[in-house]
């Protein structure tokens, strides 16, 4: 039976490690919080006194920690994983940390003959308990394959994101979309209520438009992603609609910071001559400006 060391038994890690136990692996876990270690033992795992003790004799080490500096100290610090983990073993870091930190950590492990994949997760602790996380894996394909049986205990979707470090990069991109949309969502519902609209009705109506479905699956595939920015819906008209809502917000004394930031981007696009193009041409503008050699 393969032995898995699991470091970081918090909200996510406790559920994930329990699911690895259920998957038939031997799990040895460490967390500075004794209650978290006790929980792992109740779930059928074995508690350890340090990351080094957990990693001793492990085939794979999984880390699920709050921030990059803690991942670094768990691996390389006093009583850290590298003190005991044998060469050519695999570390799977599932924490949400920065690509820069991930790359540095991977290089440090590789120098010691240890392989690493980054595999942060999407979705909440509810899905962690169900073993239905979305796992964004970055690493050498063979290493991801080696990790797959363990990852499959924790997630229902395992995406190979295309090489070392690409998992954390994908996670950051995904979170940019979801966190920024959260801010806009809060503004939109507040404005709806300020104008006496039923929030339930607003959600129902938006459910059938790009407002709720998102541009990635509605407007973009048919236009800018195909290299076509001729207007289906003209950017000038989209800006007019955006301004209309922002003016309503001003009248209702509800400041909308996210919407105003978006309006500034539309204005830039108009200044750059995209006003008569499709509203998805915002992406063409960004690519043209910031990705050298790219045009739409
Ligand atoms: P958490 O704070 O609940 O758990 C972190 C655990 O790490 C704690 O049990 C803590 O005691 C432990 N820890 C701290 N220092 C340690 C050390 N030196 N050695 C060993 N263990 C140590 O956090 P979480 O919600 O489980 O999140 C973990 C990671 O997953 C974060 O990077 C987070 O951003 C990411 N994430 C969380 C969620 C979520 O819904 N909670 C969803 C997706 C991703």
| Structure confidence by residue, pLDDT tens digits, 29-73 | 999 999 999 999 999 999 999 999 999 999 999 999 999 999 999
pLDDT of residue 74: 98
> Residue with structure tokens 């610090």?
77
pLDDT at 135 over 90: yes
Residue 25 in this model has a pLDDT that exceeds 60: yes
Query: Which of residues 1 and 106 earns the better pLDDT score?
Result: 106
- What tokens appear for 276 in the block? 């008569």
Catalytic positions are 171
Q: Mean pLDDT over residues 179-202, rounded?
A: 97
Domains and CATH numbers, the chain: 3-164 (3.40.50.720), 183-290 (1.10.1040.10)
Evaluate: CB of 27 within 6 angstroms of ligand 1. no
Instruction: Work out the mean pLDDT of the chain and round it to a whole number.
Output: 97
Can you tell me the mean pLDDT for 162-173? 98
Distance CA 21, CA 102 (A): 27
pLDDT exceeds 70 at position 295? no
> How many CA atoms lie less than 13 Å away from 153 in the CB half-sphere?
19
Contact 6, 15 (CB under 8 A): no
Q: How many residues does the chain have?
A: 296
Q: Which residues sit opposite 202 in a β-bridge?
A: none
Nearest C-alpha neighbor of 103 from the set 12, 174, 172 = 172
Average pLDDT on 11-38 reads 98
Residue 296 has pLDDT above 70, yes or no: no
Query: Contact 279/219 with Cβ under 8 angstroms?
Result: yes
Q: Please choose from 19, 54, 65 the residue to mutate so as to test ligand 1's pocket, defined by most ligand atoms within 8 A of CB.
A: 65
pLDDT in tens, 231-268: 999 999 999 999 999 999 999 999 999 999 999 999 99
Tokens of 248: 């309503």
Per the structure block, which two tokens stand in for 117?
């994949």
Closest C-alpha residue for ligand 1 atom 44: 121
Determine the pLDDT at residue 122: 95
Residue 293's pLDDT is 62
User: Which one of 6, 9, 11, 61 would you pick to mutate in the ligand 1 pocket, going by the greatest count of ligand atoms within 8 A of its CB?
Assistant: 11
Q: What is the pLDDT of residue 76?
A: 98
Residue 294 confidence (pLDDT) = 60
Span from the CA of 141 to the centroid of ligand 1 (angstroms): 26
pLDDT of residue 144: 98
Distance 70 CA to ligand 1 centre (A): 10
Distance between first and last Cα of the chain: 52
Pocket test for ligand 1, best of 5, 7, 13 (most atoms within 8 A of CB): 13
Answer for the pair 165, 102: CB distance below 8 angstroms, yes or no. yes
- Summarize pLDDT for 82-112 with one digit per residue, the tens: 999 998 999 999 999 999 999 999 999 999 9
Is the CB of residue 105 less than 8 Å from the CB of residue 112?
no
The whole-angstrom distance between residue 195's C-alpha and the CA centroid of its chain comes to: 34
**Least confidently predicted of 5-9, 54-58, 158-162, 208-212:** 208-212
Helix (H) or strand (E) holding 92: strand 90-93
Would the CB of 8 count as within 6 Å of ligand 1? yes
Mean pLDDT value across residues 215-243: 97
CA distances from 291 to 115, 173, 225, 284, 294 (A): 32, 16, 15, 10, 6
Residue having the nearest C-alpha atom to atom 6 of ligand 1:
10
Q: What is the pLDDT of residue 292?
A: 73
């Amino acid at each position: 039976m393969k032995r898995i060391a699991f470091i970081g038994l918090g909200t996510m890690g406790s559920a994930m490690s329990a699911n690895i136990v259920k998957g038939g692996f031997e799990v040895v876990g460490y967390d500075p919080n004794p209650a978290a270690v006790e929980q792992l033992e109740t779930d059928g795992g074995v508690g350890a006194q340090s990351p080094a003790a957990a990693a001793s004799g492990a085939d794979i080490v999984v880390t699920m920690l709050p921030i990059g500096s803690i991942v670094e100290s768990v691996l390389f610090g006093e009583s850290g994983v590298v003190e005991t983990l044998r060469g050519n073993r695999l570390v799977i870091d599932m924490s949400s940390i920065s690509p820069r930190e991930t790359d540095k950590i991977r290089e440090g492990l590789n120098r010691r003959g240890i392989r690493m994949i980054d595999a942060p997760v999407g979705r909440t602790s509810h899905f962690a308990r169900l073993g239905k996380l979305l796992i964004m894996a970055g690493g050498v394909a063979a290493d991801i394959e080696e990790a797959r049986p363990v990852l499959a205990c924790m997630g229902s979707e395992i995406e190979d994101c295309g090489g070392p470090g690409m998992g954390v990069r994908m996670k950051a991109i995904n979170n940019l979309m979801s966190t920024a949309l959260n801010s806009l969502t809060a503004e939109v519902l507040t404005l709806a209520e300020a104008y006496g609209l039923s929030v339930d009705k607003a959600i129902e109506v938006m459910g059938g438009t790009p407002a709720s479905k998102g541009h990635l699956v509605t407007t973009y595939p048919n236009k800018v992603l195909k290299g076509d920015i001729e207007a289906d819906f003209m950017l000038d008209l989209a800006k007019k609609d955006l301004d209309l809502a922002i003016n309503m917000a001003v009248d209702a004394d509800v400041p909308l910071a996210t919407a105003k930031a978006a309006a500034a981007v539309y204005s830039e696009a108009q200044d750059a001559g995209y006003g008569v193009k499709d509203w998805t041409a915002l992406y063409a503008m960004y690519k043209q400006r910031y990705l050298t050699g790219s045009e739409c």
